[in-house]
A and B are shown apart, each in its own frame.
Chain A
Amino acid sequence: MVKKLAALDVNKCIGCMECMFACSRRVGRGGFDKSAIRVRSAGGIERGFVIIVCRACENPPCARVCPTGALRERTGGGVILDEEKCIGCVFCVQSCILGAIFWDNERNKPILCKYCGECEDYCVHNAIGLVDLNVGG
């Protein structure tokens, strides 16, 4: 079954950013400027947190607007980036109303969730996790 990452219960999120740090750690970075997931407060910590990550939409707008075919639909859902084809036009970022496509300023390429689940391992409060693609979220 094809997987995607999902916010399982945003009320359990404590805003520790472990998921963000885990994502950049995959590429040997301490920090989160290479991360495909973001957590921020929903306008003040008292209102809780917002978890922003690719939800692997059906018929994804980001793939549709990509002029070079660098972003294409993954079989079963979600998108795959072919970096060689990417010209850094930022159309994909503009097309994602969730704000779930981030930008790598050093490389001038988009940062997209690869649905690998690395971040899930560090979310000890079970706010996020991998789910089967046909299951809601």
Chain B
Amino acid sequence: MKAEDTKRVLSIDLTKKDIHIVERRDLFDEYLGGSGVAIKLLEEECKPGTDPLHASNPIIFAVGPLTALYPSASKTVAMFKSPLTGNLGESHCGGRSAMAIKLAGYGAIVIKGSSDLPVYLAVQGDAVHFRDASSIWGVEAHTAGRILREVEKGAGIRTIIRIGRAGEKLVRYACAVCETYRHFGRLGLGAVMGSKKLKAIVISADKSIEIPEATRREYKKVYDELHDVVVKTDAMEKYHDLGTSGKIYDLNKIGGMAYKNLESASAPEEIARELSGENFAEKLLSRRVSCSHCPIGCVHLASLRELYEPGYYFKTTTIPYDNEPIWATGFMLGLRSAEDCLRLIDIIDKSGMDVMSTGVLLAWATEAFEKGLLTTEQTNGLALKWGDVQVYAEAIQKIVEMPTEFYQNLAKGVEHASRVYGGQDYALAFGGNEMPEYHTGLACYLNNLTGARHSHLDSAGYDLDQKLMGKEFSLEEVVSALVQEEEWRQILASLVVCFFARKVYTADRIVKALNAVGIENWTAERLEDLGRVIHRAKMDFKFREGFSLAKLRIPKRIFEVPTPHGFLKEAEMRKAIAIYGRMIGREVPVMEQR
């Protein structure tokens, strides 16, 4: 097929069990792909005020013009209305998802409606099969994947995106699991799939893209240049050696990482050593793997060998670990060993929940329990205690089972649970999304508050905080840098390249890469402009759905613990939010200081 042939949108209606394939050159020519095309499709498909768990909430998967053509262009963007925040839902995932969608012949897939019985979808080129998933409904994410691997064809050249029981039970921060160890982690895609009775999607690659004869030589040249840069930048060393967990020890050392629900911003030295990327690698690392078409191999898998019953009954479990999951379990819940982290990550992964949200939620619950706000009556007998891995394991099971009203509330996220039970001052959610690990300064929280996804990857405020250490800066400078970064990331997310390769894909290289596959008329300026347009479109969606900069809740806790930049002040944070509002053309009404 020609590259032009991938500017198609596959539309799947689960209610009618019907499909349509529509050419959308208009969208792909103007918005590239990924986030750019996805937000436009979301505007088209998601009416104002849509209930995120209603059949009318669409799920959009989108890849971009560089997918399957260049190294580290390995991610898929998922867009939907989030059942966790009630607002823009966007989550990115690698694995084999991106190349499979593109080489099946699509730029985007839109899933609408809701099935009457559990189904999974098998996409094989232009054919889409609706298959009965009753036999795997209620089955954990890993097992479901294992079963589908056997019954569907295309080993090695397909993606299997599925949900666990948490998604089926509509836990608002349920994730979708991809290739067993990768996730569309944040903002509840798993619950949206669950609400549609969609257990899984298997997409098989069956084509390749013909490079125009005229640009073949140039394509290979540009490819080699990009490949060379990918393997020679620090990304290779940074992400392949220790993986994303390589920065844990240092971040803890500078006091920039929430520990035990941000009781402090660093763990004791012996805990930090135990939970460091170095320790995981030396003790537990068993294999490093990569997403399709990415030479870096940042995915780190650990092997955990455990005696689970007397009489030499051992089991060895492979468990993925990354910076965020280690933090959300180990640091947030005060665990004392790397093995304990893996045990919890494994349980959370198999049930199909976002590990970051789960960790933050349980950390809040532990503190609330400690403070007497919650009792064993509510927790169904569980005495939540820092470091008690067994109790946490049981709590996670109960969030999925929801035996009592308390667990039904926990299943709706920490914003909701703290509204019901109190303890909002230390309920660490921003814009309704549970926070990431960083307590590095003003920028990381501005990122959490103003980022379109309330994800640390929106504008990388944590990175800016660290770059600003020891420097003088104005609020305007900080806000402006964050806005610029978030706008540019829209381009990376529309191509779609992995953010770990962001230094490789500069504007000039992107233009060259596009030209070499016959996509012309792009310039650095046009890319920059488009980044802004996409970012504003996402923000427009948010405001349309009730997002308000003035009403953002900021948990008091973040002002009570010093960051590497010292104590943060709420007045300053509110001022920065107002500056942000002005910069994106959304005036923030002056609110009284609380």
Contact = CB atoms under 8 A, between A and B. Distances in A.
A4 to B, nearest CB: 22
B295 interface: yes
B517 to A, nearest CB: 7
Interface in B69-126: 69, 71, 99, 103
B301 A45 contact: yes
Contacts of A31: 68, 99, 103, 205, 207-209
A29 interface: yes
Interface residues of B, number: 44
Interface stretch (A14-22, A61-69, A71-79, A84-92): A14-22
Nearest to B71: A18
Interface centre among A14, A29, A124 (most CB of B within 10 A): A14
B129 to A, nearest CB: 20
A28 B295 contact: no
B179 to A, nearest CB: 7
Given A33-B206, A34-B208, A122-B295, A45 B213 contact: no
A29 B289 contact: no
Contacts of B179: 45
A106 B287 CA distance: 37
Given A24-B208, A30-B209, A40-B155, A46 B295 contact: no
Contacts of A32: 103, 157, 205, 208
B220 A25 contact: yes
B264 interface: no
Contacts of B500: none
A31 B103 CA distance: 7
Contacts of B149: 43-44
Interface in B183-218: 205-211, 213, 216
A30 B517 contact: yes
B88 to A, nearest CB: 31
A29 B68 CA distance: 10
Contacts of A39: 156
A16 B208 contact: no
Contacts of B466: none
A69 to B, nearest CB: 29
A46 B145 CA distance: 13
Which of B3, B180, B295 counts the most A-chain CB atoms under 10 A from its CB? B295
Contacts of B210: 28-29
Contacts of A44: 146, 149, 180
Contacts of B223: 25
Q: How large is the interface on A (under 10, 10 to 19, 20 to 34, 35 or more residues)?
A: 20 to 34
A41 B293 contact: no
A46 B287 contact: yes
Given A30-B209, A33-B208, A46-B301, A122 B293 contact: no
Given A14-B288, A18-B71, A45-B180, A30 B208 contact: yes
Given A14-B290, A31-B68, A124-B295, A40 B156 contact: yes
Residue with the greatest number of chain A CB neighbours at <10 A, chosen from B208, B288, B294: B208
A43 B56 CA distance: 37
B297 interface: yes
Contacts of A16: 290-297
A20 to B, nearest CB: 9
Given A15-B289, A44-B180, A46-B287, A29 B209 contact: yes
Contacts of B231: 124
A38 interface: yes
Contacts of A40: 155-157
Nearest to B291: A16
A14 B289 contact: yes
B138 to A, nearest CB: 21
A21 B289 contact: no
Nearest to A52: B156
B227 interface: yes
B181 interface: yes
B480 interface: no
B50 interface: no
Given A30-B517, A122-B227, A46 B318 contact: yes
Given A25-B219, A29-B209, 9 more contacts: A14-B289, A14-B297, A15-B289, A15-B290, A16-B291, A31-B209, A32-B157, A34-B208, A46-B180
Interface of A: 14-18, 21, 24-25, 28-34, 38-41, 43-46, 48, 122, 124-125
Interface of B: 3, 68-69, 71, 99, 103, 146, 149, 155-157, 179-181, 205-211, 213, 216, 219-220, 223, 227, 231, 236, 286-297, 301, 318, 517
8 contacts: A29-B210, A31-B209, A33-B103, A38-B156, A40-B157, A44-B146, A122-B295, A124-B236
